[in-house]
Structure 1
Amino acid sequence: MKLLLLALAALLLLSQLTPGGTQKCWNLRGRCRHKCSKKERIYVYCTNNKMCCVKPKYQPREKPWSLRGP
């Protein structure tokens, strides 16, 4: 029983130390990373100086220039 509790405590500790949780950005649609994947683009930078990698479908679209008269 003590061995089971020791194993459970070790697994709990390892789950807390494992890096994998990344900070979210851009309305929770992007993730702060050092390098974006091929399917993502940089839109803004995070507060921890990492890039906010966002899929293009979640980025705001640029509006074409409209010709307005003065």
Structure 2
Amino acid sequence: MKLLLLTLAALLLLSQLTPGSTRKCWNLRGKCRQKCFRKERVYVYCTNNKMCCVKPKYQPKHLPWKV
């Protein structure tokens, strides 16, 4: 019985530690966050005033000859 209670307590704690659902942005390639990770860049802003953090490989390439 103690083992069952310990297992339930551990599962409850682990369910609280998993990250919440972050909103997707930029064609489902980015995530809306307050702060981007090291390997991400801000390209646009989300509707909830957070930054849309996108990995550089998913951002469009800027062509210098097109305006």
TM-score by length of 1: 0.66
Name the structure 1 match of 2:19.
20
Q: 2:47 is aligned with what amino acid? A: T
Distance 1:61 1:36, change over 3 A: same
Measure the CA separation in 1 of the matches of 2:31 and 2:46. Answer: 9
Separation of aligned partners in 1, 2:18 and 2:50: 15
Counterpart-to-counterpart distance in 2, 1:18 and 1:45? 27
Q: Percent identity?
A: 74
1:52 aligns to what SS in structure 2? strand
Structure 1 unaligned runs (5+)? none
Residues 1-70 of structure 1 aligned to structure 2 (within 5 Å): 15=15, 20-21=19-20, 22-65=22-65
Give 3-state SS (helix, strand or coil) of 1:57's partner: helix
Tell me which stretches of 4 or more aligned residues in structure 1 moved more than 2 Å.
none
Superposed CA RMSD? 2.5
The C-alpha deviation readout for 1:5-34, integer Å capped at 9, x for no partner, is: xx86xx57x84x667231111001000000
Deviation, 1:64, is 1.5
Q: How many residues align?
A: 65
